[in-house]
Amino acid sequence: MEKMYNDFKKQHEEQMDSLREALRRERLAFGTTLEEQVRKVEIDSESLWTAKIQQKQIELDQSYVFLVFVVVVPAFSPLTSYS
Protein backbone atom coordinates (compact mmCIF):
# COMPACT_ATOMS: atom_id res chain seq x y z
CA MET A 1 0.00 0.00 0.00
CA GLU A 2 2.81 2.38 0.92
CA LYS A 3 4.60 1.64 -2.36
CA MET A 4 1.42 2.37 -4.28
CA TYR A 5 1.04 5.65 -2.37
CA ASN A 6 4.65 6.64 -3.10
CA ASP A 7 4.26 5.79 -6.79
CA PHE A 8 1.05 7.78 -6.96
CA LYS A 9 2.71 10.71 -5.16
CA LYS A 10 5.74 10.57 -7.46
CA GLN A 11 3.52 10.49 -10.56
CA HIS A 12 1.58 13.55 -9.39
CA GLU A 13 4.76 15.42 -8.49
CA GLU A 14 6.12 14.74 -11.98
CA GLN A 15 2.86 15.96 -13.52
CA MET A 16 2.99 19.11 -11.37
CA ASP A 17 6.60 19.75 -12.38
CA SER A 18 5.65 19.26 -16.01
CA LEU A 19 2.71 21.66 -15.68
CA ARG A 20 4.88 24.24 -13.89
CA GLU A 21 7.46 24.04 -16.68
CA ALA A 22 4.76 24.36 -19.35
CA LEU A 23 3.32 27.38 -17.51
CA ARG A 24 6.78 28.95 -17.22
CA ARG A 25 7.39 28.47 -20.98
CA GLU A 26 3.96 29.89 -21.79
CA ARG A 27 4.55 32.94 -19.61
CA LEU A 28 7.92 33.49 -21.26
CA ALA A 29 6.40 33.19 -24.75
CA PHE A 30 3.48 35.46 -23.86
CA GLY A 31 5.77 38.02 -22.24
CA THR A 32 8.00 38.09 -25.31
CA THR A 33 5.02 38.43 -27.61
CA LEU A 34 3.56 41.18 -25.45
CA GLU A 35 6.88 43.04 -25.40
CA GLU A 36 7.08 42.83 -29.19
CA GLN A 37 3.53 44.15 -29.54
CA VAL A 38 4.21 47.03 -27.14
CA ARG A 39 7.42 47.86 -29.00
CA LYS A 40 5.52 47.90 -32.33
CA VAL A 41 2.82 50.18 -30.92
CA GLU A 42 5.50 52.52 -29.55
CA ILE A 43 7.26 52.66 -32.93
CA ASP A 44 3.98 53.23 -34.78
CA SER A 45 2.95 55.97 -32.35
CA GLU A 46 6.33 57.66 -32.61
CA SER A 47 6.14 57.58 -36.41
CA LEU A 48 2.63 59.00 -36.37
CA TRP A 49 3.56 61.85 -34.01
CA THR A 50 6.73 62.61 -35.96
CA ALA A 51 4.67 62.94 -39.14
CA LYS A 52 2.11 65.17 -37.38
CA ILE A 53 4.86 67.38 -35.93
CA GLN A 54 6.49 67.71 -39.34
CA GLN A 55 3.15 68.66 -40.89
CA LYS A 56 2.51 71.28 -38.20
CA GLN A 57 6.02 72.67 -38.72
CA ILE A 58 5.31 73.03 -42.44
CA GLU A 59 2.02 74.78 -41.68
CA LEU A 60 3.73 77.15 -39.23
CA ASP A 61 6.49 77.90 -41.74
CA GLN A 62 3.87 78.70 -44.39
CA SER A 63 1.96 80.91 -41.95
CA TYR A 64 5.18 82.75 -41.07
CA VAL A 65 6.04 83.29 -44.74
CA PHE A 66 2.52 84.60 -45.38
CA LEU A 67 2.68 86.89 -42.37
CA VAL A 68 6.08 88.30 -43.27
CA PHE A 69 5.71 88.70 -47.01
CA VAL A 70 2.01 89.48 -47.33
CA VAL A 71 1.30 91.45 -44.16
CA VAL A 72 4.51 92.87 -42.65
CA VAL A 73 6.74 93.63 -45.64
CA PRO A 74 4.09 95.50 -47.67
CA ALA A 75 3.25 97.59 -44.61
CA PHE A 76 6.83 98.87 -44.43
CA SER A 77 7.44 99.07 -48.15
CA PRO A 78 8.62 102.44 -49.46
CA LEU A 79 5.91 102.14 -52.08
CA THR A 80 3.21 102.18 -49.40
CA SER A 81 1.40 105.48 -49.20
CA TYR A 82 0.31 106.73 -45.79
CA SER A 83 -1.87 109.57 -47.08
Task: Express each pLDDT in 40-76 by its tens digit.
Answer: 999 999 999 999 999 999 999 998 888 888 877 776 7
The torsion angles phi and psi of 29, rounded to 5 degrees, stand at: -65, -45
pTM recorded for the entire structure = 0.50
Query: pLDDT tens-digit profile of 22-49?
Result: 998 888 888 788 888 899 999 999 999 9
Give the CA-trace dihedral at 59, 64, 70, 74, to 10 degrees.
180
- CA 27 to CA 42: how far, in whole Å? 22
